[in-house]
């Protein structure tokens, strides 16, 4: 069969061992959702566990903290246990709490300890802006000049980062390193193990922003000896818009007083003693700050059940196949139409989404949405497609490329302005 044929796509769907999970999700009829790397779709199980938590509130009131289907007092810890296998960590090293930026502030305020020559923070120029804003804020709090103390490793081509360049920047004046696991634009996976080893060989602590990798690729944070990591749970983990975030802290750091202490970081048995002496939990739980956002966390209970059943290794294998199929279709079907695949071709270097670069990217995205395709745009010229292993079919991938081909041939995009919407 021809690669680009519909029958071939249907054959791939027939032998897909994860295809039955698609029925778990709410997929709007007449649309193809390709934006799961920005916001995952709602699953029926996530809806169910959210409604169960609302019912607990209705039935038990304040006693919902210790009674009901999903008692609130231990919810974050229970979710941490379910998340731990996805990041390659023990249950005690993972906590569901805060949000990406809040957790980054928490971790940097804890682990950034400028002393002597070591006063600078190392990041990269391609990272998501919120990470830079947070790091700049932390440097300001210490009274340091942002231009000299926030070092951003340069990209050689504007798409990718080279590990050699990051290692070269690990100088004696670096106190802390914050890098992404997967670059949000290009989808490049960094060599987390290598970077961690090189940082530690130089006596530098290192943490990772895993927003674009958790739920899409397997991790081994404990085995790799990563110091800490943080992420959101609303992308590949389908936890819901603005859903509660997650963090990992290596057990070797247990007992360290968090930089931003709050009462929910207390030992459980001490929390309601109401003492003015903070007694932190001897686990990642100590990095919680305030009361958990129960109704924000509840959908994740159901969502993580699906990940436990599907298995992150199986999810990764299908994700790689979906993305490879998309790449091959683009190369075969969209020749000479001005597209450039700005994502690594090697499986080990590619995350869960594909970036197509085009000078008319914003207009093309608007035209795709008009045709029932939900993509993602990143300025100035990137269309991101994220075929998600749990709910995207090979037939849908085939259809996306056929529709994109028609849009380009008919120049349907020309009726739109080439500028992003408020929410890209």
Residue 273 is assigned to a ligand binding site: no
Residue 70 is assigned to a ligand binding site: no
What CA–CA distance (Å, rounded) separates 352 from 238? Answer: 14
Residue 308 is assigned to a ligand binding site: no
Domains of the chain: 6-30+312-415 (3.90.1150.10), 48-309 (3.40.640.10)
Q: Does the pLDDT of residue 207 top 80, yes or no?
A: yes
Angle between helices 6-14 and 312-333 (to 10 degrees): 170
| Mean pLDDT across 47-65 | 98
Q: Does the pLDDT of residue 2 top 60, yes or no?
A: no
CB 424 within 8 A of CB 384: no
Residue 130 is assigned to a ligand binding site: yes
Q: Does the pLDDT of residue 422 top 90, yes or no?
A: no
Helices (H), 242-360: 294-310, 312-333
* Chain-centroid distance, C-alpha 290: 23
Q: Does the pLDDT of residue 302 top 60, yes or no?
A: yes
DSSP secondary structure, 216-277, as one string:
TB---HHHHT--EEEE-SSSTT---TT---EEEE-GGGTTPPPSS--GGGB-TTTGGG--SS
Q: What is the pLDDT of residue 423?
A: 74
pLDDT in tens, 112-147: 999 999 999 999 999 999 999 999 999 999 999 999
| Mean pLDDT across 217-239 | 98
Tokens of 142: 């210490």
At 3, the pLDDT band (50, 70, 90 cuts) reads low
Query: Mean of the per-residue pLDDT values for the chain?
Result: 96
| Mean pLDDT across 84-100 | 98
Residue 234 is assigned to a ligand binding site: yes
Residue 228 is assigned to a ligand binding site: no
Q: Does the pLDDT of residue 23 top 80, yes or no?
A: yes
Alpha-carbon torsion, ordered 81, 87, 90, 96, to 10 deg: -40
Count, residues in the chain: 424
Residue 147 is assigned to a ligand binding site: no
Residue 101 is assigned to a ligand binding site: yes
Cα separations (Å) of 312 from 87, 164, 220, 317? Answer: 10, 29, 12, 9
Q: pLDDT exceeding 90 applies to what percent of the chain?
A: 96
Tokens of 71: 């008692």
CA angle at residue 94 from 52 to 122, to 5 degrees?
130
Q: Where are the beta strands (DSSP E) in 147-221?
A: 150-153, 174-180, 205-209
Residue 387 is assigned to a ligand binding site: no
Residue 112 is assigned to a ligand binding site: no
At 1, the pLDDT band (50, 70, 90 cuts) reads very low
Q: Which of 165, 101, 159 is nearest to 135 (CA)?
A: 101
What CA–CA distance (Å, rounded) separates 147 from 165? Answer: 19
Residue 339 is assigned to a ligand binding site: no
């Amino acid at each position: 069969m021809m690669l680009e044929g519909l029958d071939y796509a249907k054959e791939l769907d027939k032998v897909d061992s994860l295809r039955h999970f698609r029925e778990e999700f709410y997929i709007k009829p007449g649309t193809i959702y390709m934006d799961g790397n920005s916001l995952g779709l709602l699953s029926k199980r996530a809806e169910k566990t959210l409604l169960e938590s609302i019912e607990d509130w209705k039935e038990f009131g304040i006693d919902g903290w210790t009674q009901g289907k999903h008692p609130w007092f231990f919810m974050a810890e229970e979710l941490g246990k379910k998340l731990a296998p996805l990041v390659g960590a023990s249950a005690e090293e993972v906590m569901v709490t805060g949000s990406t930026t809040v957790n980054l502030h928490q971790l940097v305020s804890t682990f950034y300890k400028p002393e002597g020559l070591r006063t600078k923070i190392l990041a990269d120029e391609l990272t998501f802006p919120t990470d830079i804003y947070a790091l700049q804020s932390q440097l300001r709090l210490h009274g340091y000049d942002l231009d000299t103390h926030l070092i951003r490793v340069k990209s050689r081509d504007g798409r990718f980062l080279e590990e050699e360049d990051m290692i070269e920047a690990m100088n004696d004046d670096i106190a802390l390193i914050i890098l992404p696991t997967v670059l949000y634009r290009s989808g490049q996976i960094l060599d987390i193990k290598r970077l961690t080893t090189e940082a530690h060989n130089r006596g530098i602590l290192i943490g990772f922003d895993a927003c674009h990798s958790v739920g899409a690729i397997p991790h081994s944070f404990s085995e790799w000896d990563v110091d800490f990591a943080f992420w959101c749970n609303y992308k590949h983990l389908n936890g819901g818009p603005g859903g509660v975030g997650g963090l990992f802290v290596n057990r070797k750091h247990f007992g360290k007083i968090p930089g931003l202490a709050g009462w929910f970081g207390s030992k459980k048995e001490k929390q309601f003693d109401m003492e003015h002496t903070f007694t932190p939990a001897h686990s990642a739980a100590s990095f919680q700050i305030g009361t958990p956002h129960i109704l924000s966390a509840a959908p994740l209970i159901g969502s993580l059940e699906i990940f436990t059943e599907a298995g992150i290794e199986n999810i990764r294998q299908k994700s790689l196949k979906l993305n490879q199929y998309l790449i091959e279709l683009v190369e075969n079907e969209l020749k000479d139409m001005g597209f450039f695949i700005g994502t690594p071709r090697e499986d080990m270097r590619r995350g869960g989404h594909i970036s197509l670069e085009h000078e008319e990217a914003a207009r093309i995205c608007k035209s795709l949405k008009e045709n029932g395709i939900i993509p993602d745009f990143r300025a100035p010229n990137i269309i991101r497609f994220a075929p998600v292993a749990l709910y995207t079919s090979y037939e849908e991938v085939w259809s996306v490329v056929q529709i994109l081909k028609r849009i380009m041939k008919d120049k349907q995009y020309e009726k739109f302005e080439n500028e992003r919407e408020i929410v890209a």
